[in-house]
Structure 1
């Protein structure tokens, strides 16, 4: 579904709106050269401990699941910059990255590579967070520049974005795939020269009601009930990202993709 073609103008850089995450106590800004312990959930912490106790002996090579990455992970949230687009369905990727930054104490105040940008750690894994400020259709310009400069393997680039084809507030973690009609993902794959072998976390925003045009639908804000559901989804997404980095893709995908719908919980 090509619903981003009309969103193109001069980018406006703004400080992310994190008011909904103030209940989490912020930590000082982190950098790769001055690492501090981030807050890790019991589930992700347990996975990390399990990996340590079951890892190979000193004389054996580490497995793919236990080997420490040589490069940082890049976690990218897709959206459109500017007040006009804050809180809309097309910007849930931005909001998920905001949630990660707030929870892990990573400052996103730097503007680099045409993105709001931050560096820090999740557990002992170095991460970079980015929110491209190029507008959705040109997201790959920012993402491609970061990947090229830091020589990040594409398999360590997690892209978070909205999905019309998923039920509202549903998450889906996939190891690779096409753009699915999403213009931001299309541009990133183009910048990667057609390489689509990188993980993506899709956040369902549902389908437009009636005969509403998809472009108008993705630019609609959320109502109060939808906001409450999204808060749960973002917490679930935070857990998924921690497990991905500390326990591996398979554990995270199982956690995300087998999760019960919200109405079945509680």
Structure 2
């Protein structure tokens, strides 16, 4: 089974914020695959789909961002899921808004959700799709920035980014992640 974890914060007040870019991708995949991400289990909302013969679970941790690793660990333990079959999707300050970046390892880079996953899994090696949110203007606090909605002018780029991330995840279901990384990272540089 493949599993896709979109990081974000639960609650309508966080719905369209930059920190919920991971949830946006899960919602797009659920729409494409006509599945409901509504089952409450493993400290997450979960949906399951069969995509081209592959069973795929979609997760939205309900622990709040800083404790995302609790949900990932609970899912791994309950389903005997392997971390190498997962893709973690999350917002990234160091990637330009509207762009994605695929990686299979690295530090948390200051992202508390990734820090929690590393802490609960004991490794920095897992597949990731980083969703660009850019850095705020000087003087803007990071916490306020990530919990703010995307500006109206950014919406077309955000929509394209969510679609591109979803395309990459769909491609990864039938191709090695390294190949997916090469293909979709190259698109970002074109």
Determine the structure 2 residue equivalent to 1:143.
72
Unaligned segments of structure 1, at least 5 residues = 1-71
Give the match's secondary structure for 2:22.
helix
Structure whose alpha-carbon radius of gyration is higher: 1
1:124 matched to 2:43? The reply is no
**How many residues get paired?**
190
Give the match's secondary structure for 1:230.
helix
Determine the structure 1 residue equivalent to 2:157.
229
- Whichever structure has more helix as a proportion of its residues is 2
1:260 CA drift (Å): 4.1
1:203 matched to 2:131? The reply is yes
Provide Cα deviations, 1:15-35, integer angstroms capped at 9, x if missing partner: xxxxxxxxxxxxxxxxxxxxx
Provide the C-alpha distance between the structure 1 equivalents of 2:132 and 2:188, rounded to a whole number of angstroms.
14
8 A Cα contact 1:80 1:135, kept in partner: yes
Give the match's secondary structure for 1:259.
helix
CA RMSD of superposed structures (Å): 1.2
Alignment map for 1:31-42 (pairs within 5 Å): none
- Whichever structure has more strand as a proportion of its residues is 2
1:197 CA drift (Å): 1.5
1:223 CA drift (Å): 1.9
Provide the C-alpha distance between the structure 1 equivalents of 2:27 and 2:183, rounded to a whole number of angstroms.
21
Determine the structure 2 residue equivalent to 1:95.
24
Q: Which moved more, 1:144-153 or 1:252-261?
A: 252-261
Alignment map for 1:78-93 (pairs within 5 Å): 78-93=7-22
Give the match's secondary structure for 2:105.
coil
Unaligned segments of structure 2, at least 5 residues = none
8 A Cα contact 1:243 1:251, kept in partner: no
| TM-score normalized by the length of structure 1 | 0.69
Give the match's secondary structure for 1:118.
strand
Match of 2:40 among 108, 111, 119: 111
Determine the structure 2 residue equivalent to 1:153.
82
Runs of 4+ residues over 2 Å off in structure 1: none
| TM-score normalized by the length of structure 2 | 0.96
Determine the structure 2 residue equivalent to 1:24.
none
